[in-house]
Amino acid sequence: MNDATENVAAGASDASAGGPNDLESMLAAARPAGAGAPGATNQRCGLIAIVGKPNVGKSTLMNALVGQKISITSRKAQTTRHRITGIRTQGATQFVFVDTPGFQTKHSTALNKSLNKTVMGAIGDVDLILFVVEAGSFTLADAKVLSLFKPGIPTLLIANKLDTVHRRAEIAPWLRDMQERHPFAEFVPMSAKNKGDIERLFGICEKYLPEQPWWYAEDELTDRSEKFLASETVREKLFRFTGDELPYTSTVVIDKFDEEKSKQHKRFLRIAATIVVERDGHKAMVIGEKGERLKRISTEARQELEKLMDAKVFLEVWVKVRSGWADDEARVRAFGYE
Ligand SMILES: Nc1nc2c(ncn2[C@@H]2O[C@H](COP(=O)(O)OP(=O)(O)OP(=O)(O)O)[C@@H](O)[C@H]2O)c(=O)[nH]1
């Protein structure tokens, strides 16, 4: 993390040393004239959608903004399947974030249609859109997501993963090109893994949120239930430990989420989860040799849930085969997708 911080800081000053067409002056020019700092006493609150094609770092960004893991992340594309609200209150401002699934244009199963509908719903009624792309890159998939935006909602171009860009000099011409593609309100080259960049982003977002009373209590982080967070945690471990072998159509259903009285622990949760896969071969893959992989998935999920929920957790994880569920609209709904 420290290395990344230093890289970004060094990269930013390199770019700003380049004269009138440098990155800093481009960013300053892109800033709308009327956007001033909010009054210190008046509360602000608003919805911010985080949108982009799969794997650009949307969930990583959301978790960094909220300050806790609300949305699962993995190297596998399309890990995020739900509209998730993450909340962060800083000073007089409450930021309410909506994470969206990576917009999928390649396949058209019932699951994908449902995912795309979630994205469309998320961006229709927000105060600000963070359009996330990988810095220095703009593909057809990015263009398709951008084409969905209705005019009128201020949109920031989040050029993420700046730490992976080695030739910083190429970013300024790329930003100029991006300026021509869409009337972005501002350009934010950054890394979702860099704390300083995240703090800077709060300052940028704040001025686009309307002055109005907060919707949530100051310490609330999400409006999703603990049961939902439990299924997301198991799903994250599932994808982390199966790598690219397991199709993204695998899912997790929570069959039981009970809080029981305990003399030894202030909270005791009994959770039963089922991993749903499409084929027998996938089931064997999840279970692993002598059940080793499933054991690792359950153990890591349990440890993380204990921290997240501040409770002793007893977690049971099963694996079930339901072939073709991602193509079956009724099942997609039954498993909790809109
Ligand atoms: N180097 C680097 N990697 C990043 C950064 N942000 C995210 N990543 C990595 O990119 C991968 C994808 O990140 P996610 O946050 O899961 O991406 P997503 O856009 O939510 O993906 P979907 O759920 O598929 O839509 C993960 O391996 C992250 O660790 C960044 O700023 N720098």
The residue with greater pLDDT, 13 or 289, is 289
Residue 298 has pLDDT above 70, yes or no: yes
Residue 251: the pLDDT is 85
What's the rounded Cα separation, in Å, for the pair 315 and 311?
A: 12
Residue nearest atom 27 in ligand 1 by C-alpha distance? 75
Taking the centre of ligand 1 as the mean of its atom positions, its distance from the CA of residue 131, in whole angstroms, is 14
Residue nearest atom 14 in ligand 1 by C-alpha distance? 57
Residue 273: the pLDDT is 95
Taking the centre of ligand 1 as the mean of its atom positions, its distance from the CA of residue 262, in whole angstroms, is 39
Q: Locate the DSSP E strands across the chain.
A: 44-51, 84-90, 93-99, 128-134, 155-160, 186-189, 251-260, 268-277, 312-321
- Is the shortest distance between the CB of 249 and ligand 1 below 6 Å? no
Measured from the Cα of 191, ligand 1's closest atom is 31
Taking the centre of ligand 1 as the mean of its atom positions, its distance from the CA of residue 81, in whole angstroms, is 15
Residue 20 has pLDDT above 70, yes or no: no
pLDDT tens digit sequence for 50-86 = 889 888 998 899 889 987 666 555 555 555 555 557 8
User: Quick one: DSSP state of residue 289?
Assistant: G
161 is in an annotated binding site: yes
Residues contacting residue 171 through CB under 8 Å, at least 6 positions apart: 15, 23, 135, 136, 159, 162, 165, 189
What's the rounded Cα separation, in Å, for the pair 68 and 300?
A: 17
φ/ψ of residue 234, rounded to 5? -65, -40
Taking the centre of ligand 1 as the mean of its atom positions, its distance from the CA of residue 140, in whole angstroms, is 19
- Is the shortest distance between the CB of 57 and ligand 1 below 6 Å? yes
Average pLDDT of every residue of the chain? 79
**Domains defined along the chain, listed by start:** 2-206 (3.40.50.300), 226-334 (3.30.300.20)
Here the tokens at position 81 are 């399947």
- Is the shortest distance between the CB of 63 and ligand 1 below 6 Å? no
Taking the centre of ligand 1 as the mean of its atom positions, its distance from the CA of residue 1, in whole angstroms, is 14
- % pLDDT > 90, the chain: 40
Q: What is the largest CA-CA distance in the chain?
A: 68
Q: Locate the DSSP E strands across 91-154.
A: 93-99, 128-134
Highest mean pLDDT among 137-146, 199-208, 316-325: 199-208
ipTM: 0.97
Residue 169: the pLDDT is 87
pLDDT tens digit sequence for 22-45 = 555 555 554 444 333 444 458 999
What's the rounded Cα separation, in Å, for the pair 163 and 135?
A: 9
Q: How far out from the chain centre does Cα 138 lie?
A: 19
Residues contacting residue 245 through CB under 8 Å, at least 6 positions apart: 285
- Is the shortest distance between the CB of 191 and ligand 1 below 6 Å? yes
Residue 225 has pLDDT above 80, yes or no: no
Indicate the pLDDT class of residue 219, thresholds 50, 70 and 90.
Answer: confident
Nearest to 182 by CA among 137, 141, 152: 152
What's the rounded Cα separation, in Å, for the pair 55 and 41?
A: 38
Buried b (16+ CB within 10 A) or exposed e, 229-245: bbbbbbbbbbbbbbeee
55 is in an annotated binding site: yes
